[in-house]
Amino acid sequence: MALLQISEPGGKPAAPIHHRAVGIDLGTTNSLVAASGGGSVESLPDADGLHLLPSAVHYRKNQDAVVGAAAKAAAVDDPENTILSVKRLLGKSHSEIVAQDSHSPYHFDDSRDDGAPAMVTAAGVKDPVAVSADILRVLRDRAEVCLAGELEGVVITVPAYFNDAQRQQTKAAASLAGLRVLRLLNEPTAAAVAYGLDSKDQGNVIVFDLGGGTFDVSLLSLRKGVFEVLATGGDTSLGGDDFDRVLSDWIAEAAACAETLNSSERIQLRYLANEVKHQLSVDPSVELSYGAWSGTIDARLFAELTQSLVDRTINTCRRVLRDAHLTVAEIDSIVLVGGATRMPVIRNAVSSFFAKAPLADIDPDKVVAIGAGIQADVLIGNKSADNFLLLDVNPLSLGIETMGELVEKIIPRNTTIPVAKAQEFTTFKDGQTGMSLHVVQGERELVSDCRSLARFELRAIPPMVAGAAKIRVTFQVDADGLLTVAAEELSTNSKAEIQIKPSYGLNAEAIEQMLESSRDNATADMESRSIKEAQLEATQLIDALASASKADGDLLNKEEATRIDAAVARLQSALSDGSSNQIHALCEELNHVSGDFAARRMDLHIGNALRGHLIDAADNSIEN
Amino acid sequence: MQQTKQNHFQLFKLSESFELDLALLAENYHQLQLEVHPDRFANAPEQGKMRAVQLSSYLNEAYDTLKSALKRAAYLLSLNKVDVEQVSQSDLSADLLMEQIQLHEALDELPMDDSALPVLENFKADVVTKLTSRERGFAEALQQGEFASAKQTFHEMQFLHKLLAEIDSGEERRLAY
């Protein structure tokens, strides 16, 4: 962790250390991990040489969770204890999950009323974050075997159209799995990186990404190493799964058993439909039987059955073009991503809409993980990034509730991130000391049609006459697409107390609790592992600070230097015999006392054009 | 280390005018973003990351302001100490107001299905033409230092932009996005 990653002009080049960083595609149906290990980025295999890990988790009483192909097979016999397509559950409430699949085999624990769905399994209550973490752990272990050592950082991909709650929960799952997240990267952007990084391609690229359970379209402009997303659109509840469902409904209808299926039969039928769908991507027609029934399905019938799903994908392409103010003729290439784009119905629809043959040179199942692996290499410092830049956007508008349950947009969709926007509010009653704000995400005009992200209570506003208080609320979306909100009363310069209540899923406390309990339950092996991680972090931090002080010691004042030295000494003495928690706490302390120094160093090194100017600007914008 | 604050034009090394080389703006924006983007500091301590987010957000905001003709116009007026928040009756010509009302009525009377799309398309072309001529007028007025006239033209541009947004949302409703 070189402090602020600034190369020292004229300094000795650092030894070429290869950091272990990976890209992870946490998919609805399958997940993958990719890394370079020094050479080109490739997906990593398990002990049997398999790259795709089915995103299925089977929970058993008093035994470890089974993840992958074995779990997928177990779903037929033990549907209520086997979680499939957990990605479709992330960031959603129980009622939304039921609305999206009325045949869900899981038993939900209704006593948890925080909106997050908790599934009762043989191994206890599991929510989507815990299930996702179980998948991530398997990928982490695989990567650590392949790369022969502990991971230093990961880039995890998410659908571009994931909302804030879905992103927060993905990140929470990664922390729960003991992974350090360098960045959440949008899947279509990752695919564009895999295609475009080493080529001299310029122009406008459409990435059409139809995965197992989610759909994204992104339009990027590629120019001299800069990947700028112009617009993105999608549907986080549309994917290959839906094609399976349509097909299995048709089979059930034809076999006249639609009313009598149990969970197990339903899953079996879904697997059959999935096989038939794959076969139809190769053969013009497929003969199949289910129970006593047998019949034939051909490409034309399949196209008819899935017409409305295909239309939805094309309609999204139309909207993305419109948002970017571009026409079909201005698109230079189309990249297909996701296993579901192997279906001829999709390929044909895409080629005919864009009047151009799409590219699928890189395995559509692997391309996202490969792109994420490339970005992980760049972010951790393995790969020079002098002219490489990803500029992504927020997929959904962010707004607040105003009078009459209307939404006032604060940050419109397709705004380049990171972005900060401030909005001023005032009190409407004399002596008013509190105010509540409701943050929503979505494009519709009515609050009830958008997704509720959080409710904020502003407290301790100094009592004044109505309209005199000026409360500035700053919305900050970071490079992971995650939102934070800060509030401040301007006329008295006092910070209003802010309380965040996420409307869906887990709040920070709940995640912290899960982390704590996972540490408590950890085996000796786990503890020694987390000690090693903490020691690694601490050593890197100390080294980085030492080289930073050597290079820019003149930026340190005496008092600051003393405080930093003391913190370093405390950390160093805890290194040999401290617990991981102690070491973490001391690292945090050191980060804290050296923070101003780090910021000054950064300002010094960001170039003349920005210096002074931006210090000023940044101080005015947030967190002052 | 505090220096005189640069305006957005100086930040992107461009001369302060309404007519802008958008390609050059983009290129200079990319250059600066390459230095401060949070991806450059993904492996840095918390404070460094936070700083990068702030600086990069600021650059995005500045770029967004100059990229859009309407925001650029407002920004140029504010650099010349013209308050664009205050709109008085005299800022808007009676003709323009009348025209607005008629256009709004015409929009409301259109059928709600996609048969209205070609009509909307024509409306849009018409508004864009008007807008282009206003933008030319704005650039000229500003160059001559005629701020009152520039301000009036700016408010007309605002009206036309609002109308464009309404046409857009009318189209989107009919396209069922």
Of residues A553 and A222, more confidence is placed in A222
CB nearest to A598's CB, from B26, B36, B48 = B48
Report the residue of chain A nearest B38, measured CA to CA. A479
Of residues B108 and A45, more confidence is placed in A45
A434-443, A451-460, A485-494, B166-175: range with lowest mean pLDDT: A485-494
Q: Mean pLDDT over residues B136-158, rounded? A: 93
Per-residue pLDDT reduced to its tens digit, B88-107: 666 677 777 787 788 788 88
Of residues A598 and A69, more confidence is placed in A69
Q: Mean pLDDT over residues A498-503, rounded? A: 56
Report the residue of chain B nearest A414, measured CA to CA. B64
pTM: 0.84
Per-residue pLDDT reduced to its tens digit, A536-576: 778 878 887 887 888 788 888 888 889 999 999 999 888 88
Q: Mean pLDDT over residues B136-147, rounded? A: 95
Distance CA A576, CA A539 (A): 11
Q: What is the pLDDT of residue A155?
A: 97
CB contact under 8 A, B64 and A416: yes
The confidence band for B3, taking pLDDT boundaries of 50, 70 and 90, is: very low
- Active-site residue, from A164, A187, A244, A392: A187
What proportion of chain A, given as a percentage, has pLDDT over 70?
86
- Asked if the C-beta of B164 comes within 8 angstroms of chain A's C-beta atoms, the answer is no
Inform me whether the pLDDT recorded for A50 exceeds 90.
yes
Mean pLDDT of chain A: 84
Q: What is the pLDDT of residue A528?
A: 66
Inform me whether the pLDDT recorded for A159 exceeds 50.
yes
Assembly ipTM = 0.89
State the amino acid at position A531 in one-letter form: I
Here the tokens at position A101 are 């699949």
Distance CA A358, CA A333 (A): 7
Q: Establish whether A559 is a catalytic residue.
A: no
- Three-class secondary structure of residue A276 per DSSP: helix
Q: What's the distance, Cα to Cα, between the start and end of chain A in Å? A: 26
Q: What is the pLDDT of residue A461?
A: 80
Report the residue of chain A nearest B39, measured CA to CA. A379
Whether A558 and A17 have beta carbons less than 8 Å apart is answered as no
The confidence band for A198, taking pLDDT boundaries of 50, 70 and 90, is: low
Per the listing, tokens 């969709």 go with A413
Q: Mean pLDDT over residues A493-517, rounded? A: 54
Report the residue of chain B nearest A592, measured CA to CA. B47
Q: What is the pLDDT of residue B142?
A: 94
The confidence band for A497, taking pLDDT boundaries of 50, 70 and 90, is: low
C-alpha dihedral sign at A610, A615, A616, A622: positive
CB nearest to B11's CB, from A153, A315, A609 = A609
Of residues A11 and A456, more confidence is placed in A456
Report the residue of chain B nearest A234, measured CA to CA. B177
- Asked if the C-beta of B14 comes within 8 angstroms of chain A's C-beta atoms, the answer is no
Inform me whether the pLDDT recorded for B25 exceeds 90.
yes
Q: What is the pLDDT of residue A9?
A: 40
CB nearest to B41's CB, from A5, A380, A391 = A5
Per-residue pLDDT reduced to its tens digit, A320-332: 999 999 999 999 9
Q: What is the pLDDT of residue A11?
A: 41
Inform me whether the pLDDT recorded for A209 exceeds 90.
yes
Whether A302 and A278 have beta carbons less than 8 Å apart is answered as no
Of residues A385 and B118, more confidence is placed in B118
CB nearest to A616's CB, from B5, B32, B61 = B5
Whether A136 and A518 have beta carbons less than 8 Å apart is answered as no
Q: Which residues of B touch A478 (CB under 8 A)?
A: 38, 53
Distance CA A258, CA A150 (A): 49
Per-residue pLDDT reduced to its tens digit, A573-614: 888 888 888 888 888 888 888 888 877 777 766 655 465 554
Separation in Å, CA of A182 to nearest CA in chain B: 6
A601 alpha-carbon distance from chain centroid: 30
The confidence band for A620, taking pLDDT boundaries of 50, 70 and 90, is: very low
Q: Mean pLDDT over residues A62-81, rounded? A: 93
Separation in Å, CA of B65 to nearest CA in chain A: 12
Closest C-alpha to A273, from A260, A449, A254: A254
Q: Mean pLDDT over residues A488-515, rounded? A: 58
Q: Mean pLDDT over residues A215-236, rounded? A: 92
Separation in Å, CA of B154 to nearest CA in chain A: 22
Of residues A599 and A207, more confidence is placed in A207
A154-158, A245-249, B54-58, B86-90: range with lowest mean pLDDT: B86-90
Inform me whether the pLDDT recorded for A618 exceeds 50.
no
Burial A1-26 (b: 16+ CB within 10 A, else e): bbbbbbeeeeeeeeeeeebbbbbbbb
Per-residue pLDDT reduced to its tens digit, A343-399: 999 999 999 999 999 988 889 999 999 999 999 999 998 887 778 899 999 999 999
C-alpha dihedral sign at A358, A364, A368, A373: negative
Closest C-alpha to A433, from A469, A451, A467, A459: A459
- Three-class secondary structure of residue A231 per DSSP: strand
Q: What is the pLDDT of residue A5?
A: 42
Of residues A222 and A460, more confidence is placed in A222
Separation in Å, CA of A10 to nearest CA in chain B: 19
Q: Establish whether A48 is a catalytic residue.
A: no
* DSSP one-letter code for A393: B
Whether A575 and A538 have beta carbons less than 8 Å apart is answered as yes
Strand partners, A59: none
Here the tokens at position A607 are 């170039």
Of residues A526 and A363, more confidence is placed in A363
CB contact under 8 A, B57 and A621: yes
Per-residue pLDDT reduced to its tens digit, A20-32: 999 999 999 999 9
Q: What is the pLDDT of residue A505?
A: 46
CB nearest to A390's CB, from B35, B39, B51 = B39
